[in-house]
Every structure is written in structure tokens, then in C-alpha cells.
Amino acid sequence: MYPNVEVVSCLPDKTVRRSTYADLHLRARALAASLQKAGIRPGDRVATLMWNHSAHLEAYFGIPAAGGVAHTLNLRLHPDELAFIANHARDRWLIVDDVLLPVYEKFADKVGVERVIVVPFSGSPLPRGYEDYEMFLAQGGGNPTYADADENSAAAMCYTSGTTGKPKGVAYSHRALVLHALSISLPDSFAMSRMDTVLPAMSMFHANAWGLPHAAVMNGCKLVFPGPNLQPEALLELLSTENVTLTGGVPTVWLGVIDCLEHDPGRWKLAEGLRIIVAGSAAPESLFRRFDKFNVRVIQPWGMTETTPIATTATLKPEMAGWSENRKYEVRTKQGLPSPLVEMRAVGDDSEIPWDGKTFGELQVRGPFIAARYYNLPEEQDKWTEDGWLRTGDVVTIDADGYMKITDRTKDLIKSGGEWISSVDLENALVGHPAIKEAAVVAIPHPKWQERPLACVVLQDGARVSNEELRIFLCDKFAKWQLPDDFVFLEELPHTSTGKLLKSQLRQRFNNFNWEQVGS
């Protein structure tokens, strides 16, 4: 349908490789044919350990076309976690970038994959026992028999990168991937069309890069892959030279990009009306405002590995056009309305909460692309209600217009003297201060109030600010009892492999915090 549309890959050595959808079609078919010749069986897992580039896209389509399941491994996880995941999934083959062989070799002796197929980038000779990807593609003849798969059979697979417990596998059916791609393509979601150039700055090795590769190919969009090159200047160069109109990634990526853009605004020419999808953790209002000055629109959705992953999106309704800018920002910084085909509710004390924008409850969702179970973990089914609602673990409010706002994770909400405090709201407000680069607010045990908020802050390079200045800054938006009792200044904050704040480490580090030193 779109043979001449480009697929642009920025490789690990920062060189750019250009191919087309015609190439993608032939090479994905060649991969499928070679896997079939190698003896792939329906449902066999083929793992990938790869950056974002065209060969990874070939795996997205070639593996399920052969009847297999494309299992993306998160290359940022600890080797022991990767070994656990590969063994739990029973991965039969592995496709790996040659530059990532050192990552694989750290857990290779702990897994039993039958064949390791290496995508050559560096030009270095392959170690013994590994197969060259290009030679593997040539072995199958290029004409596969497309698998006669049921639409509810698995096409892809990803493991959660939760902050507690072992990773849990989520299998995505052919049906779920197609319905999700349709859902995020709609005008009130990401508004994807064949006129777009799409740059996924989120990882293809986690949650299908939020569905952007599947939806982009479905719509015939030009695709630009950054590889491992997510430095602000490298991203801005790609956004500018390739005229990207839709991109996305976690807030930390875009905070670096906007800093760079503001420092040298005349250096890059971004596409008119560029849209940036920001998720993974709540984006601060300041990020929306800063990008708006460059006519770049930030859109905030919400999702998780279990929801394929996009389940809500915050775009405005027509009756909001006349609202004040501040009121519009208040809506845009929420996590938004449920995606088409997704049902949403919030439950508190065993009953559904009212949609008043004030009452807290745990978010629950269900729909045709929401997972119904974890892979091969029958003991973990309490994550779902008996009638199929996924208990997300996110504490939210839902307003009268239907917009959901995450106030915390159930384990991160702060209960002080019987009253709830949202750590997310405090964090987003703190990041709005010009001296602050990143902030995390955690609940610390308190002898009188049960818990109190402690703010852990990373400053911008060369910046200085006092505790009292930060308290005054927050007073406009929060009651005095909601303010952090103290501020700890750190060089960096801990993150999960997918960029989320790892608050469990901070809670553990400051669990025995001496409140007497701050006069509490």
C-alpha cells in the first residue's frame, strides 16, 4: 500500500540508514520464512534484545507472521531479571543487536535459547556460536506461509517492569494489537494519518513503544527511529531534519529537549504543530507551557503494560475552547478520557466513587485490548475482579466531564493525620520551579502524623534554592499541612528501567528520617 514511504534508522554509531516500506515488507517476509524453515511452532516465543531501528520493526511483523510471538526484552534490566524473564517465557530463539551482545553474555549461561541471531552493526566478526541476521534472512527463500492463527492467539509479549516483585508477562493478541492501533489513531487520541512522520522515542522493547510502530505502519506513516541516541541535541536534530510531526517518550527525555530548545531556539526548525506524547509518569504543567511557546503540543495519555498500553488520552472537548488558558492546562495535565472501547471506573471502599473531581478511588479498566491475565501466573489473578476489571493500583479522581487524574499509586499516596496528600501533585508543582530539574515526594513514617511528605530534589546545573523559598513557591497551590516538611537535595533520583521514579528506594533510604532536626 505504501511501498515508497521511508523508514529512517539512526544506528548506534549515529549514522543514518534509510529504507522503505517495500523493504520492510520483503525483509519481514524473509524473517518469517526463515523462522518457519528453522522449525518455529505456533506460539513459540522469539525474543528480541534490540534498540529502536528498522530490523526491530521487521521482527515486530515477521515473527507473528510466522506464527510466533515477538517477545521484547528490556535491555536495561539486571541480567538476573532478564534471565528470569527469558526462562519464564520459554524463549526459543533470540535476535540481538551486535552492540548488545555484552548485555546478553551477562546472562547467556542462565538461559536455554536454541539459537542466537545477531543483527550486524559494528562490522566486527561474530563470536563462535552466533548466527548473522542477514545470512539467516537469506536461508528461508523469502516466501513464508502466513500462519493460520486465531485472532485471540498471542502475537507479542512484554514483561512488566514493576518496582516490586518479579516481572510479570503480558501476552498481546493479534486482535488486541489491531484494535489498540485503531484506537490511538483516531482524531481525539493521537490523530495519526499517512501524512505524519512518527518518531518513537519510547522503547520498542517495552509495551510495544506505546503502539506507535503498529499504528504508524497501519496508517502508512514515515517512521524515524532514534536507536540508542536519545540525547536532547540528537533528538532535536532528527525532529528537525526529518520534519517529524508526532513523537513521544517519558517526561525526563522531553525536559532535556525543552532545556536545549530554550537555550538555542534558533538552531532547529520543528514541524508546524508537532505533537509530543508524554507518558510513563505524570508530566508537569510547566512542560506543557514551555513547549506551547514553540507551537509544540504536548498530549498526555495513561496506560500500563497490561493495557497494551494506551487506555486514556487528555485532549480537550469543543465546549472547552472558550475556557481560560489556566483552566485548559488543568484539563490537559490530567490523564484524560478513556480510549474508544475502554471502560473506566474508580472504586473506593468497595463502591464506585462519584465523578466529582475530588473523591479518591483506585482506577479500574476493562476492554478488548486490556489484558485478562498474566502469562503463566495463575497465582496473580487477584489483579482482576471477578467480572473482568483490571485493578491498576493507581489512585485517581474523575471529574464531571469524565477526565481522569492520577493522584498517586496506592503505595505512594501519603496519609498524614487521617488526610490524604498527593505526591504527584507536589512533584509536578516543584518541577515548575526554575531551579528544579527533577523531584520526588515520598511518605516517611512520622511519630505524630503517621506519615509526612519528604521532597527529594535534583537542582538544575548551577542553581541554588533554599527550603523556605520552595515552601513559599508551593503555598499558592497547597495548604500548609500538605507541604513537605523537609527538602533533601540529591545529585540524581533512582529510576526504573523505563524511566519511572523508583520511590521504593527513596522510602527505604529515608525510612529512619530524623524529624526532630526539622522541628516537626
Catalytic amino acids? 160, 306, 415, 420
Strand partners, 159: 169
Residue among 514, 183, 504 at smallest CA distance from 365: 183
**Cβ neighbourhood burial of 466 (10 Å; 0-12, 13-18, 19+):** exposed
Three cell numbers at 156? 507479542
Strand partners, 445: 451
Measured CA to CA in angstroms, residue 252 lies from 103, 258, 300 at distances of: 24, 10, 14
What is the signed CA dihedral for 353, 359, 362, 367, rounded to 10 degrees?
A: 50
Q: Do 489 and 482 form a contact (C-beta atoms < 8 A)?
A: no
Q: How far apart are the first and last CA of the chain?
A: 67
Q: Do 455 and 433 form a contact (C-beta atoms < 8 A)?
A: no
Q: Do 96 and 116 form a contact (C-beta atoms < 8 A)?
A: yes
The helix (run of H) or strand (run of E) holding residue 286 is: helix 285-292
The string over 28-40, giving b where at least 16 C-beta atoms fall within 10 Å of a residue's C-beta and e elsewhere, is bbbbbbbbbebeb
Q: Running DSSP on this structure, what letter comes out for residue 485?
A: S
The helix (run of H) or strand (run of E) holding residue 278 is: strand 275-278
Q: Do 67 and 171 form a contact (C-beta atoms < 8 A)?
A: no
